[in-house]
Amino acid sequence: MSESTGVTMEASGDLAGPSRTSGKESAYIRTIEWDMMNKTKFFPLSMLSSFSVRCCLFPLTVIKTQLQVQHKSDIYKGMIDCAMKIYQSEGVPGLYRGFWISSVQTVSGVFYISTYEGVRHILTDLGAGHRLKALAGGGCASLVGQTIIVPFDVISQHAMVLGMSAHAGSKADINPLGIKMWPGRSRFNISMDIGREILRRDGFRGFYRGYTASLMAYVPNSAMWWAFYHLYQDELCRICPAWVSHLFIQCVAGSLGGFTTTILTNPLDIVRARLQVHRLDSMSVAFRELWHEEKLNCFFKGLSARLVQSAAFSFSIILGYETIKRIAIDEQYKHQIRW
């Protein structure tokens, strides 16, 4: 830790040298560390940014989930077909099924990012490299975040797939809880019914159905995403001209990290969704059923929607996250920040 600036000096450089500052003598801060920020600014702005991104991109989550839980391609032929059928039968509200339950992730996001930055800070003191810090911090953050959010995720996903009954006919069991869909019923009442039915059938454990699958899908996903984010950021900083916005480089690196991790973890995410919605007994049962239905197509099922969702979320989240870090940074470091 540099005593003069408080900035971590690492091999790849959280501090970028003159080659990226058009010959200027002073270096700029590439990675804003946890102890450089004003937390009273960071946390509320971070929650606002996360909620705004979720509002804009939530329809992609609904589309992805419905594509993942359908049997083969019985209901939807692809992402566009799914979006059109939902919109034609339910309008815009159909694309926001389960939104308010899912928006609890805005709160869990505070614990996620606090864990990520806290682990990074601890590993900085131990002298770890920044890619190792990103990998370990991302994994630990996801473990904490999933423990908080899985119960709400289970309810939200049941709410998301209820609309499939309008175009499923008798092809699939997309309402395993038998939730009544009377005309005029509010989304809140439907969500409460889902929660009560899960509690009646499975007890409190029912809210953590698919928890192990969630950890297996999201902990590696989060760990790899942050590691790839820093990897791509380093490479882009190395090859891009000095006039290219550093914030833009970070957003592109986030999208590339999202693409990479999505391709690597897609089957695990399908298993997680099916465990939680189809109420299967175990991950092995879910894997066997998925392989029996899809064979090698299981690696690509819902992948287009998930790639679009991941790239859009990654770009938007990093845009908000890195912008807020720049706004919340302490005055003593502001002259070293590059936009």
pLDDT for 3: 38
- How far apart (Å, rounded) are the C-alpha atoms in residues 220 and 211? 14
Q: How confident is the model over 66-81, as a mean pLDDT?
A: 76
Strand partners, 37: 329
Q: What is the pLDDT of residues 285-295, one digit of tens each?
A: 777 777 777 77
Q: Which two tokens stand for residue 173?
A: 């069991």
Could you read off the pLDDT of 61-72 as tens digits, one per residue? Answer: 888 888 877 766
Question: So what's the pLDDT on residue 169?
Answer: 52
* Rg (alpha carbons) of the chain, rounded to whole number: 22
Q: Is 5 exposed, middle or buried (0-12, 13-18, 19+ CB in 10 A)?
A: middle
Q: What 3-state class would DSSP assign to 37?
A: strand
Q: What's the pLDDT score for residue 10?
A: 31
Report the pLDDT averaged over residues 227-233: 91
Asked if 258 contacts 225 with a C-beta cutoff of 8 angstroms, the reply is yes
The whole-angstrom separation of Cα 313 and Cα 321 is: 12
- The whole-chain average pLDDT of the chain stands at 78
pTM over 0.75: no
Whole-angstrom distance, CA of residue 239 vs CA of residue 254: 17
Q: What is the pLDDT of residue 255?
A: 92
Residue 213: count of CB within 10 angstroms of its CB: 24
HSE (CB half, 13 Å, CA atoms) of 190?
A: 24
127-167 pLDDT, tens digit per residue, is 888 788 889 999 999 999 888 888 888 888 777 777 665 55
Q: How far apart are CA 253 and CA 258, in angstroms?
A: 9
Give the DSSP H/E element, type plus range, for residue 83. Answer: helix 79-90
Give the chain's domains with CATH numbers.
Answer: 44-328 (1.50.40.10)
DSSP 29: E
Q: Look at residue 4 in the predicted model and tell me its pLDDT.
A: 36
Average pLDDT over residues 102-111: 81
